[in-house]
Every structure is written in structure tokens, then in C-alpha cells.
Amino acid sequence: LWHASVSSLGWRVDSRLGDLRPWAQISYNQQFGENIWKAQSGLSRMTATNQNGNWLDVTVGADMLLNQNIAAYAALSQAENTTNNSDYLYTMGVSARF
């Protein structure tokens, strides 16, 4: 359980290089409310690690249309507010429109 809300303020730039559409964004996030995750199973509740109240995210990525309904994408994110000491997130995938 977690009772908090997060406000974000940021900037994003999109571009086009032929069929490739690269982009970059930066955002500052401020958390309001509780900053402690609570895991609950059954009747007992366990408190997890404490999180920072604000953090900065930086992300770069690109996507490309493969055909009219399918696109491929990739992104790399760096964030300051991680509880597992892994500051980077890599994302790759394919999306389809039906």
C-alpha cells in the first residue's frame, strides 16, 4: 500500500531523422504524502525502504514505424530515486495498433 501523489514538471524534444524519430526528455518529480512503501499480505503489514521525496529523470529514446500498424522502440532512462540501487532502465519493444 502506498498513499502519495507525485507532481512532475519537465521538458521534451521530439525530432525526425528519416524514418527514425528520436526524442529526449527531462523531468523533476516531487512526491507528496507518505514516502514509505508498505507491503501487505493477509493481516500483517511490513514497512519497506524509505524513498526520496523528489528526484530527477532523464530519458532518451527513439521509435520507428515498421509498417502502417507496427512500430519498434527503444529508450534509456536514468533516475535518482530508485530503491534497488539501479539508476538505469533500458526498454526495447514492438508496439502494434489494431
Distance CA 58, CA 24 (A): 8
Given a cut of 60, is residue 45 above it in pLDDT? no
As a whole number, mean pLDDT of residues 54-69 equals 93
Task: List the chain domain ranges.
Answer: 9-32+54-96
Between these two residues, 66 and 88, which has the higher pLDDT value? 66
Which has the higher per-residue pLDDT, 23 or 48? 23
Please list, residue by residue across 2-28, b when 16 or more beta carbons sit within 10 angstroms of its beta carbon and e when fewer do.
Answer: eeeeeeeeeeeeeeeeeeebebebeee
80 pLDDT tier (thresholds 50, 70, 90)? confident
pLDDT at 30: 87
Residue showing cell 489494431: 98
- Give the CB-side neighbour count of residue 65, counting CA atoms within 13 A: 8
Q: Are strands 70-79 and 36-41 parallel, antiparallel or unpaired?
A: unpaired
- First-to-last alpha carbon distance for the chain, in angstroms, is 35
